[in-house]
Amino acid sequence: MRALELGKVYQKLEPGPVVLVATAEGGRANVMTMSWHMMVEFNPPLIACVVSEANFSHRALTKTGECVIAIPPADMAETVVAIGNCSGREVDKFARFGLTAAPGHEVAAPRITQCIVNIECRVVDRQLVARYNLFILEAVKAWIDPGRAKAKTLHHCGYGRFLLDGEELRLRSAKA
């Protein structure tokens, strides 16, 4: 074994798929790429996520308390990276990247029809936003495209490197 640079620890712990986070403020939709999120409760489904103050989406999420977390398929990899490499302050990302917005049912933020899953969320805890930009979201409605439910997703490894979902393993558990 050798020492691992502390700045690279996150690359080994990235928990879930890279997602797109859609927000809407004042009738203007925006989308950002995010990989820093995790489940914190099953029922109701609570999701912790980091949205930096430097991101244009931070303001909309703070102001409206709503967003949609959309899980893109791996075949959108180049688009997902491009979305993350520009700012909604300067460009309409839905138009630039040909994303189709569908209205949310429980939130004003749009769903993204090209994504496999769309999870409509409301901010339910802001205690760590000022200190860590950490929002706790409650999923209030979720959608899945059954025709693409098994599509591969992207997992961020840092510095432009990604993994795809691999083979599914089914193991017995005591709770099965």
Q: Is the pLDDT of residue 165 over 80?
A: yes
Looking at every residue in the chain, the average pLDDT score rounds to: 92
> Is 3 a residue whose pLDDT tops 80?
no
What is the structure's pLDDT at 159? 82
What's the pTM? 0.91
Q: For residues 84 and 11, which has the higher predicted lDDT (pLDDT)?
A: 84
Question: Which token pair is 84?
Answer: 């993350």
What residue spans define the domains of the chain?
18-157
What would the mean pLDDT of 143-165 be, rounded to a whole number? 88
Beta pairing, strands 28-34 & 46-50: unpaired
pLDDT of residue 15: 64
26: left (phi over 0), alpha (psi -120 to 50) or beta: left
**pLDDT the model gives residue 120:** 95
At residue 13, the pLDDT reads 65
**Residue 168 pLDDT > 90, yes or no?**
no
Strands 134-144 and 117-125: antiparallel
State residue 4's pLDDT score: 75
Report helix, strand or coil for 116.
coil
Write the CB contacts of 30 (distance below 8 Å, at least 6 apart in sequence): 22, 23, 24, 56, 57, 60, 88, 93
**Which comes out higher in pLDDT, residue 14 or 51?**
51
Pick the CATH number of 18-157 from 3.40.50.150, 2.60.120.260, 2.30.110.10, 1.10.630.10: 2.30.110.10
pLDDT (tens digit per residue) in 76-130: 999 999 999 999 999 999 999 999 999 999 999 999 999 999 999 999 999 999 9
Task: Tell me what pLDDT residue 25 has.
Answer: 95
